[in-house]
Amino acid sequence: MSWISNKAIPVNERLIVALDVPNISSAKALVTKLGDSVVFYKIGLELFMSGNYFDLIDWLNEQHKRIFVDLKFFDVPATVGRAVKQLSDKQVDFVTVHGNNAIMKAAAEQKGSLKVLAVTVLTSLDRGDLDDLGFQCDVEQLVTSRAKRAIELGCDGVISSGLEASGLRDSLGQNFLVVSPGIRPVDNRPEDDQKRVVSVEQAFYNGADHIVVGRPIRDADDPLQAAMDIQQSIRNVFAS
């Protein structure tokens, strides 16, 4: 069964490019290179630690870009709630939390116009990693359990591999966001740290609303062409 998203999201905003680069100047250079081909950007821990993170948020807003703050808040619930409240004053679209029920609830209560996305299972983890962490259930059961609790607690959606997106739609329906990282338009390279990966098309047919793409664009010989090719793949899915 196909679970193609029926949400009113502009097709060119379904691609989120991860700015996984070492500094602000590199981030700005990549955004400038990609131009109008990309509207939505994710900024995470690497850029946060480089300094001037909020200057980059302001600059992206000046460029009329949408922003996904991926800091995976995990702390005392009251602290997470206050952090999300601080961020809600910025012009940011998405923020991630990665924690238990109390953490997710605190974030949802303070989100304002932000959309809070709960991390289910990182796409860098596989069955062996979950065994190491002491989880007895399989990956899909864990993803579904965490997603169900996140939605019930007021989160707007989840971060989930496209591999599990169809199971989430089967179990929980369409009334929440699924954002899928671990997208690989070509075969994984041996040094890749993503393990549970899918193609652009498979992610959307399985029910993702957005995909997050980093190195296949950043490390391409021609990043602009790579982004344009992915956008064309997305248009093809939603035209079918």
CB 105 within 8 A of CB 77: yes
What count of other Cβ atoms lies within 10 Å of the Cβ of residue 204? 29
- Clarify whether 72 is annotated catalytic: yes
Select which of 72, 90, 115, 148 is catalytic.
Answer: 72
Task: Name every residue whose Cβ is closer than 8 Å to that of residue 51 and which is 6 or more positions away in sequence.
Answer: 24
In this structure, what token pair is assigned to residue 79?
């602290």
Taking CB atoms within 8 Å and a gap of at least 24, the contacts of 137-140 are: 139/163, 139/164, 139/196, 140/164, 140/167
Determine which helix (DSSP H) or strand (DSSP E) holds 217, and give its type and residue range. Answer: helix 215-218
Active-site positions? 72
